[in-house]
Amino acid sequence: MSTRHEYKHRIDIHNYKSKMRQISDQIERELSSENIALIKKYDREMV
């Protein structure tokens, strides 16, 4: 495995926002609306 390939999957300050958006989109595709609501409620209360 090349060094360049390893860096491709690293989340850093330059691509953090886009990676978080991708994760959010994946969660919305794969989980039920009830589970998403619970996750958002948990996030609001823990912050």
Evaluate if residue 1 carries a pLDDT over 80: no
Q: 45: which 2 tokens?
A: 């209360």
How many CB atoms are located within 10 Å of the residue 39 CB? Answer: 13
Task: Specify the pTM.
Answer: 0.56
Band (47; pLDDT cuts 50, 70, 90): confident
Phi-psi region of 12 (alpha: psi -120 to 50; beta: other; left: phi over 0): beta
Distance CA 23, CA 47 (A): 19
Q: What's the total number of domains in the chain? A: 1
Domain housing 17: 3-46
Q: Please write the tens of the pLDDT for every residue from 7-39.
A: 556 666 777 888 889 999 999 999 999 999 999
Contact 36, 27 (CB under 8 A): yes
